Structure 1
Amino acid sequence: RAHRIPEPLPPPVETAAQYSPRSVDSAGAGQAFTAIGTVDDLLHAWETAGPAVLRAGGVSIRDLKRTAAALDTDEATAVFWIELAYAAGLLASDGTTDERFVPTPAYDDWRARPAQERWAALVAAWLPATR
């Protein structure tokens, strides 16, 4: 008892920053438009020169680095966008002997839809994802 080490005090709780609902909505809308634009940029770039599908089903490191540079992001974030486009049904293998990843016919339909519907399609694919 006498030699018991006292438990440290918990760290002080700091007051969270306050944001107006309007600024939160504006920031959220900006991120939604960024997501739509990034997926569109990815699929547009892969429309004519999609990367080869590896035997294991993925994308090579070289193609991933090239895609990350084209999207002006890091490789981990580029993987997220690729997987999101794939999960949304906007990207698939072309099914030829020399398989390449290409946009699906659903991509054309997706591009023709209003922004809020494109965002909803991406969210519907993202929410059940395990990553």
Structure 2
Amino acid sequence: MITLPTLAHAVHRRSHDGCCLQDSDAQTKNGLRLALTCELVARVQRVRMFGAASIDLAWVAEGKVDALVMMSNKPWDTAAGVLIVREAGAGVVDLDGSPHTMNSAATIAASPKILADLVELIAEARKDVERSESSSPD
């Protein structure tokens, strides 16, 4: 466990469950991210998290990265980049594969060749999370 008292955070790792903030809803917030990462690492060369929505989306548009999966985004972080990605010919959708809007829960961007496969992979990860939540002894 890493304790960061000045930030009022503690980070912990549980065996085979990944690492997450130690707060009341951290597992809920990170469950899909962790499940999706597990699904991706078996299928892709590398999972990278750059940390800036604008750069991530610009690089999808430019073809420097194949796809972007961003959870819990805000429209002011993604609006311009979503437009650039669409103008470049890539697709941008929400978690369920519906067209991305300013109210979307997530931003999923990729070339048309892989977008449907990525949405399907996200659906698999969501099912994994639902199964683990329903089998948790709470």
Q: TM-score, normalised by structure 2?
A: 0.28
Task: Give the strand-richer structure, 1 or 2.
Answer: 2
Q: Using CA pairs below 8 Å that are at least 6 residues apart, which structure has the higher relative contact order?
A: 1
Larger Cα Rg: Structure 1 or Structure 2? 1
In proportion to residue count, which structure has more helix? 1
